[in-house]
């Protein structure tokens, strides 16, 4: 089980936004490239001196059409064209409340463009 968030924006989200977010959080690192053929980025946090624990995944961006989205989303996002999905494992190893907040911040960073 996971907590999933779909972000719909008009301008295609770029990978450098995730890199900026990671640069602000020394305990995080990433694997993958947003928009690559594999389609996902895994964000890791340091669980100890050398251990990396997968914290959340970012998928996309995927091209979307307004008719594929909920009417409430279309009414809130001007010209919705791209979707990014963020998936946070529910109760994953080391998932504590402080680690749940970074994915919210990431979603805002990705959506700001």
Measuring CA to CA, which residue among 82, 2, 92 is closest to residue 35? 82
> How many residues in the chain?
113
* pLDDT score of 98 more than 80: no
Name the more confident of 60 and 112: 60
Q: How far apart are CA 82 and CA 71, in angstroms?
A: 15
Render pLDDT for 31-67 as a digit per residue (tens, 0 to 9): 999 988 877 899 898 877 778 888 888 999 999 999 9
pTM confidence score? 0.73
- The b/e string for 15-46 (b: 16+ C-beta within 10 A; e otherwise) is bebbeebbeeeeebebebebbeeebebbbbbe
Residue 102: per-residue pLDDT: 52
At 101, is the pLDDT very low, low, confident or very high (cuts 50, 70, 90)? Answer: low
């Amino acid at each position: 089980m996971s907590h999933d968030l779909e972000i719909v924006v008009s301008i295609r989200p770029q990978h450098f936004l995730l890199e900026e977010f990671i640069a602000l959080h020394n305990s995080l690192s990433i694997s993958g490239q947003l928009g690559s053929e594999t389609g996902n980025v895994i964000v890791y946090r340091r669980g100890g001196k050398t251990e990396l624990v997968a914290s959340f995944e970012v998928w996309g961006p995927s091209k979307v059409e307004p008719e594929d989205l909920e009417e409430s989303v279309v009414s809130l996002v001007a010209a919705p064209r791209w979707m990014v999905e963020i998936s946070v494992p529910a109760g994953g190893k080391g998932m504590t409340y402080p680690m749940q907040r970074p994915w919210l911040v990431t979603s805002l960073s990705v959506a700001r463009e």
